[in-house]
Amino acid sequence: MDTLIVRKMENKDLQEVLKIYKEGIETGMATFETIVPSEQVWDERHHATLRFVAEEHNRVVGWIAISPVSTRAVYSGVGEVSVYISSDSKGKGIASKLFKILIEESEKAGFWTLQSSIFAINASSIQLHKKMGFRVVGTREKIAQLHGKWHDTIIMEKRSD
């Protein structure tokens, strides 16, 4: 029996969301951030209604959310996707389920482009995005350093159907 529930994120989920984000930071291939933001900062950085969690046995095991790419009105329908799965829940198809609801709900909300900036070394994330209909639009070479090492990122996007 499938016990996974995908639902809108609630304020009560923030601590578990940040715990999973911390796991992503610790991998060294998910984000250039090195410090977990406060609940308030995380909340301010992400779209208020386009954030979802996957819950299994009353525990948040993954999350997905959209951040604005610009404050300019012309880009109001373009969002950057972040998706994180707890280390002990990877490989179960959770990210795909989160993506499906995010894509559907973002289109209803008027988004026409979703994009992600993925570490070039993060092959599983690149593969996931391709599976969800994203395409590679470019590589940003040596875009930033993490722990003193330069990293490339792959820019991927999905346009609304």
Q: At residue 127, does pLDDT exceed 60? A: yes
In order of 9, 39, 76, 113, the CA distances from 15 in angstroms are: 11, 7, 28, 29
| Contact predicate 146/119, CB 8 Å | no
The distance from CA 47 to its chain's CA centroid, rounded to whole angstroms, is 12
* Contact residues for 93 (Cβ-Cβ < 8 A; gap 6+): none
Mean pLDDT of the chain: 96
**Residues making up the chain, counted from first to last:** 161
Q: Which domains, and CATH codes, for the chain? A: 4-115 (3.40.630.30)
Q: What's the pLDDT tens digit per position in 94-103?
A: 999 999 999 9
Q: What's the pLDDT tens digit per position in 7-61?
A: 999 999 999 999 999 999 999 999 999 999 999 999 999 999 999 999 999 999 9
pLDDT of 1 = 46
